[in-house]
Structure 1
Amino acid sequence: MTPASFLAFVGVAALVICTPGPDTALTIRNTLFGGRAGGMLTALGVATGLSIWALATSLGLVALLVASEPIFRAIQYAGAAYLIYLGIMALRDAFRRQGPASPATAAISPRGLSPAIAYRQGLISNLGNPKIAVFFASLLPQFAAGGSSFTTLFLLGLVFAAMTLLWLSAYALVVAKVGDVLRRSQVRRVIEALTGGLLLALGLRIAAEQR
Structure 2
Amino acid sequence: MDHLAAYMLMALMMSMLPGTDTVLVMKNTMAHGSKAGYYTTLGIASGLIFWTMIAVFGLAVVIARSVFLFHVIKYLGAAYLIYLGLRAFFTKSTFSMDSVPDHNKKSTHAYVKDSFFQGAVSNVLNPKTVLVYVTFMPQFIHVNGNTNQQLIILGFILTLIAAGWFFILVYFLDVMKKWFKKPVFQKFFQKCTGVLLMGFGVKMIV
Shared fold per TM-score greater than 0.5: yes
Rounded to whole Å, the distance in 1 between the matches of 2:125 and 2:175 is 30
Map 1:47-196 → 2, pairs under 5 A: 47-93=45-91, 96=92, 109-110=95-96, 114-146=111-143, 149-196=147-194
- Unaligned stretches of 5+ residues in structure 2: 101-107
The answer as to whether partners of 1:33 and 1:183 remain within 8 angstroms in 2 is no
Counterpart secondary structure, 1:145: coil
The answer as to whether partners of 1:44 and 1:165 remain within 8 angstroms in 2 is yes
Rounded to whole Å, the distance in 1 between the matches of 2:29 and 2:52 is 26
What fraction of aligned residue pairs are identical, expressed as a percent? 28
Correspondence 1:6 to 2:18: no
Map 1:37-56 → 2, pairs under 5 A: 37-56=35-54
- When structure 1 is superposed on structure 2, of 170-179 and 160-169 the one drifting more is 170-179
- Unaligned stretches of 5+ residues in structure 1: 102-107
The answer as to whether partners of 1:32 and 1:183 remain within 8 angstroms in 2 is no
Rounded to whole Å, the distance in 2 between the matches of 1:57 and 1:143 is 14
State the partner residue of 2:103.
Answer: none
Rounded to whole Å, the distance in 2 between the matches of 1:82 and 1:150 is 31
Rounded to whole Å, the distance in 1 between the matches of 2:95 and 2:169 is 19
Amino acid in the other structure paired with 2:180: L
The answer as to whether partners of 2:78 and 2:201 remain within 8 angstroms in 1 is yes
Deviations 1:65-100 (A, max 9, x none): 11211111111101111111111121112xx4xxxx
Counterpart secondary structure, 2:143: helix
- When structure 1 is superposed on structure 2, of 145-154 and 27-36 the one drifting more is 145-154
- When structure 1 is superposed on structure 2, of 110-119 and 9-18 the one drifting more is 110-119
Equivalent in 10, 31, 41 of residue 33 of structure 1: 31
Rounded to whole Å, the distance in 1 between the matches of 2:45 and 2:20 is 13
Q: CA RMSD in A?
A: 1.7
The answer as to whether partners of 2:26 and 2:170 remain within 8 angstroms in 1 is yes
State the partner residue of 1:20.
Answer: 18
Offset, 1:42: 0.3
Amino acid in the other structure paired with 1:131: K
Deviations 1:153-194 (A, max 9, x none): 111011001100011111111111122332432111011011
Deviations 1:96-139 (A, max 9, x none): 4xxxx6xxxxxx95256611101000001111111111121111
Rounded to whole Å, the distance in 2 between the matches of 1:74 and 1:139 is 22
Counterpart secondary structure, 1:20: coil
Rounded to whole Å, the distance in 1 between the matches of 2:173 and 2:11 is 23
Flag as ranges the 4+ runs of structure 1 deviating above 3 A: none
Counterpart secondary structure, 1:146: coil
State the partner residue of 1:104.
Answer: none
The answer as to whether partners of 1:43 and 1:168 remain within 8 angstroms in 2 is yes
